[in-house]
Structure 1
Amino acid sequence: MTELNNLWLTETIRLREEHAGPLDDLEANRLARNAGGDLPTRIQRRALWLAERDGLTGALKHWLQGARLALLLMVVLALVSGAGLAFSALGNGSQPVNIFWALGTLLGLNLILMISWALGLVFAGEHGAALGRLWLWLSEKFARDAKAAQLPPALLLLLQRHKLNRWALGSLVNGLWLLIMLSTLSMLVLMMATRRYDFIWESTLFGADFFAALTDALAAVPHALGWSAPRVDMIRVTLDTDYNRELVRQSWAIWLVGAVLIYGVLPRLVLMLLCRWRWKRGRAALRLDPTLPGYAQLRERLMPTSERLGISDAAPEQLHRVESGVSALQSDGALLVAIELDEQRPWPPKLPKSVSNAGILDSRESRHKLLEQLSRFPPARLAIACDPRRSPDRGSLALIGELARNASATRVWLLQAPPGEALDAARLGDWHAALEQLALPFADCAPMNWLETGHD
């Protein structure tokens, strides 16, 4: 992942929380605090963890693949359009080519749009949004990921905030027009090399003197670079078909190719390189701004004056599947821990020597202490004892998920009711449904043999 992609995902998470409310971020905040660093670093670590959990990281990869396909399609269209310009300007060679009409066809639209882009960049700061929107739309269509719809708005806001969208868009627009003009130039040379074209000029309003002056003006730059141009006498006799000799024909052809190269290809190349340089320079200077809306309230959670655990945000629509972040090589030993048991229940049960007892987690301090310990010394097997007479509230389920992520393998032990008391079937069903969403195995008997040996 590049730094731009990391900032992009961070901005996506910020916008998502701004519009839909805070996410379930208890573990993300803890991991960000443990990793250390300044506030922007912690905000980014938190956002990347949430993006990975919620599938935004995968959606970004799909979107980038779609963006490449969209760009490839636009490149193909640019090449085809350039070839079409050349065919439109010269025809099939059966009729003489009006040299100035051909020049207008080859350069007119390109020059108008190039001047329009430059004026928009200077006076408005934005231009060429149509091509950019087309690329974003095609990228989203090719991505085929519903979660990828959240990414383009975040990218646009990130670039606009640092005034990089004009250079990113400028690289795209001028790059595509450069391809169009290169395709036009290549096809122009190929057609002139394989067909014989006669060139004429025709006008009802203007005479030979006007076209001689126009030709000299357009040939000023090519002539300074050593490019030949038709002389005045050649321009005057162009209409005389008996005098349209090979020298005149070649002279017009060279002049037309030079005009396309000098006034079509080179300006687009210069503008594209300028935009690419500004884009790379600005991208290298991208930094996360912790003063943005949505980041201020994270300061106390990520860099608190006093550490505290708890649940303060709204419940999500569904629980997230728990996947262990610890491999078997990183973990060792077995551990039993209980969550909020009544004092009347005898605890702990008799444990094998190889199984450690982590006690009962009944306070924020005890939870925080155990999570810190597990982050440094993850167990290979972890059994979590819960009292199913209590409702499976969000705080307990979030804690179970955090504990499970810090062990190589986890099982939940749903304790039996004390003698003379029955479990509520509906409440027990809620526990089963919640643990199935978390994808954690559970049982109503003590998993002592599994804790000791690793199998049943």
Structure 2
Amino acid sequence: MTELQNLWLTETIRLREEHAGPLEDQEANRLARAAGGDLTTRIRHRARWLADRDGLTQALRHWLQGARLALVVLAVLAIISGAGLGFAALGDGRAPVNVFWALGSLLGLNVLLLIGWALGLIFAGEQGATLGRLWLWLSEKLARDAKAAQLAPALLLLLQRHRLNRWALGVLVNGLWLLAMLSALVIVLLLMATRRYGFVWETTILGGETFVAMTQALGALPALLGFSVPTVEMIRASGDAALNIESARQAWAGWLVGVLLVYGVLPRLCLALLCLWRWRRGRASLRLDLNLPGYAQLRERLMPSSERLGVNDAAPAQLHRIDSTVGAMESDGALLVAIELDERPWPPKLPDSVKNAGILDSRESRHKLLEQLSRFPPARLAIACDPRRSPDRGSLALIAELARSASATRVWLLQAPPGEALDGERLGDWHNALQQLQLPFADCAPMNWLETGHD
């Protein structure tokens, strides 16, 4: 995942908590503290964990797929529109081509929108907003993920805060117009290569010298690149009828192609490259704004005062992975813990090498143990559960969180007290739930495994 995507997910989590209230983030905060680093690093680590848990990471992938598909749709539309401009400008070759009508068809809308884009860039900074909103709307629709609706506002806020939205939209707008102009240029060249066109200019109120001056002025820059410009005699003669002279047709064709290239294609290419350069430069400097209320409130939870004073144990290299092996973890020892036992004698007799973590029957005891495990993960952890209780969502979440804090975990489903039988249906629910967690379980005490690491 790229740096921008990490920041994007972090901003999405902040917006989500700002509108819907704080998320359940105790495990995320604990993991972020264990990972270490400065406040920005911990906030991003927390956000990434919450995004993975709540499906936002997958929604981001869906949104990006939709964005790429939307970009392809817009690019195809730009190419088709450019081709339509080319056909409209030259026609089928049966009638002479009015050069200034053709030029207006090819460049008129492009030049007007280019001027509007430049004015918006200078005065407002919100140029291309309509096309940008269309792209965002298409991206969301094509993503087909309800959670992806939270991503677009977060991206816009992140970019607006650093004034990068203008450059991102600039790349989109100028890139699409560049495709349209290239498509029009290709169609014009193909039509001129396969049909014979005559060129004229017509007017009622303007004089011929006006068209001579306009033609020469527009052709000055293309002439520097080697494109032909009709002579004064050719221009004047074309006001009466299309010249049936090969050199005249080629001169007008070269002039039209040169003007389209210089005033249509090259400006969009230069602006697209400029916006792309500014976008990449600005993207590299993106940072979280820690002064925002949503981030400022996390300071004490992710960087407690005792840690900022320097009382902080080094976190093990790898933590919280159920499928990790002992050799891949900086873990040691064996631990037995029980969850919400009702009037049972506890603990059983334990070997000297196995430590007892007691019974977790309150929020405080759970948090205390999880904090200890994040710093000193055991190599083997046995979790004792009373199968007379239903496997509710909270108990299963706690079992999963404990299992992520040890190299290897087993669940001990305790036997019923003498004279009492276990509910077979409820026991089956426990089996199904633990199988979904992919945790081994048994109804006998795993003391030998806790002590030696094998049965």
TM-score for the superposition, normalised by structure 2 = 0.84
Separation in 1 of the partners of 2:65 and 2:7? Answer: 19
1:23-70 Cα deviation digits (max 9, x unpaired): 121111111111111111110111011111222112212221221122
Change (3 A) 1:415 1:305: farther
**How many angstroms does 1:139 deviate by?**
1.7
Aligned AA (1:385): A
> Greater shift after overlay, 110-119 or 236-245?
236-245
> How big is the shift at 1:191?
1.4
Aligned to 2:58: 58
Is 2:324 the counterpart of 1:326?
yes
Superposed, 1:47-446 pairs within 5 Å as: 47-241=47-241, 243-306=243-306, 324=322, 326-327=324-325, 330=328, 335-339=335-339, 345-351=344-350, 357-361=356-360, 370-371=369-370, 374-375=373-374, 378-379=377-378, 381-386=380-385, 398-415=397-414, 445-446=444-445
Give CA deviations for 1:77-132 in whole Å, capped at 9, x if unaligned: 22222111111100111111111100000000100110011111111110211211
SS state at 1:219 partner: helix
Give the deviation of 1:452 after TM superposition: 7.0
Q: Distance in 2 between matches of 1:326 and 1:297?
A: 34
Residues 239-248 or 91-100, more deviating = 239-248
Letter aligned with residue 133 of structure 1: R
2:78–2:176 Cα contact (<8 Å) kept: yes
Q: Secondary structure of the equivalent of 1:227?
A: coil
CA-CA distance at 1:327 after TM superposition: 4.7
Contact 1:140–1:149, Cα closer than 8 Å, also in 2: yes
User: In structure 1, what is the Cα distance between the partners aligned to 2:449 and 2:205?
Assistant: 98
What CA deviation, in whole Å up to 9, does each residue of 1:382-417 have, x standing for no partner? 321245788989876554332111235534435456
Q: Secondary structure at the match of 2:338?
A: strand
State the AA in 1 paired with 2:72.
L
Q: Which residue of 2 aligns with 1:311?
A: none
**What is the alpha-carbon root mean square deviation over aligned residues?**
3.4
Aligned runs of 1:17-28 on 2, under 5 Å?
17-28=17-28
Asked if 1:41 corresponds to 2:41, the answer is yes
1:212-251 C-alpha deviation (Å, 9 max, x unpaired): 1221221232234443311221111114448531111111
Q: Report the AA paired with residue 191 of structure 1.
A: L
Q: For 1:424 and 1:145, how far apart are their aligned partners in 2?
A: 41
> In 2, Cα distance between the equivalents of 1:2 and 1:242?
59
Q: For 1:145-170, what per-residue CA distance to the aligned partner results, in whole angstroms no more than 9, with x for missing partners? A: 22222211111111111110010000
Q: Compared with structure 1, are the counterparts of its residues 118 and 54 closer, same or farther at alpha carbon in structure 2 (3 Å cutoff)? A: same
Q: Which residue of 2 aligns with 1:315?
A: none
Residue matched to 2:316: none
Q: Answer whether contact 2:208 2:239 (CA < 8 A) is retained.
A: no
8 Å contact from structure 1 (residues 127, 166) kept in 2: yes
What amino acid is the match of 1:155? L
Q: Determine helix, strand or coil for the equivalent of 1:290.
A: coil
Return the alpha-carbon distance in structure 2 between the equivalents of residues 294 and 390 of structure 1: 38
Taking the aligned partners of 2:37 and 2:77, their CA distance within structure 1 comes to 47
Q: Compute the displacement of 1:348 (Å).
A: 2.7
- The 3 A distance-change label for structure 1 pair 384 and 243 is closer
| Cα distance change on mapping 1:105 and 1:290 into 2, 3 Å | same
Note the C-alpha offset of 1:144. Answer: 2.2
TM-score under structure 1 length normalisation? 0.84
Aligned residues of 1:435 and 1:442 also touching (Cα < 8 A): yes
Runs of at least 5 residues in structure 1 that lack an aligned partner in the other structure: 308-321
Deviates further, 225-234 or 151-160: 225-234
Number of the residue aligned with 1:4 = 4
> What is the deviation of 1:440?
5.6
- Write the distance in 2 (CA, Å) between the matches of 1:325 and 1:133: 44
Deviation at 1:359, TM superposition (A): 4.3
Instruction: Rate the CA distance shift 1:418–1:23 in 2: closer, same or farther, 3 A.
Output: same
Structure 1 distance, partners of 2:37, 2:453, is 38
Shift of 1:353: 7.7
Matched length:
441
CA change 1:101–1:206 in 2 (3 A) is: same
**Are the equivalent residues in 1 in contact too, given 2:199–2:242 (CA < 8 A)?**
no
What amino acid maps onto 2:401 in structure 1?
E
In 2, are the aligned partners of 1:40 and 1:289 still within 8 Å (CA)?
A: no
Counterpart CA distance in 1 for 2:51 and 2:429 is 28
Q: Deviations over 1:396-450 (max 9, x none)?
A: 6554332111235534435456567899999999988987886766666545577
User: What's the CA shift for 1:330?
Assistant: 2.6
Q: CA deviation at 1:367?
A: 5.2
How far apart are 1:347 and its partner, in Å?
2.9
Distance 2:326 2:68 in 1: 38
CA separation of 1:395/1:242 partners in 2, compared to 1, >3 Å: closer, same or farther?
Answer: closer
User: Quick one: distance in 1 between partners of 2:390 and 2:72?
Assistant: 55
Separation of aligned partners in 1, 2:44 and 2:323: 19
Instruction: Tell me if the contact between 1:374 and 1:406 (Cα under 8 Å) persists in the aligned partners.
Output: yes
Do 2:86 and 2:187's aligned partners in 1 also have CA atoms closer than 8 Å? yes
- For 1:412 and 1:157, how far apart are their aligned partners in 2? 46
* 1:207, distance to aligned residue in structure 2 (A): 3.0
SS in 1 for 2:337: strand
- 2:283 is paired with a residue whose SS is helix
Q: Secondary structure at the match of 1:324?
A: coil
Conserved in 1, the CA contact under 8 Å of 2:325 and 2:408? no
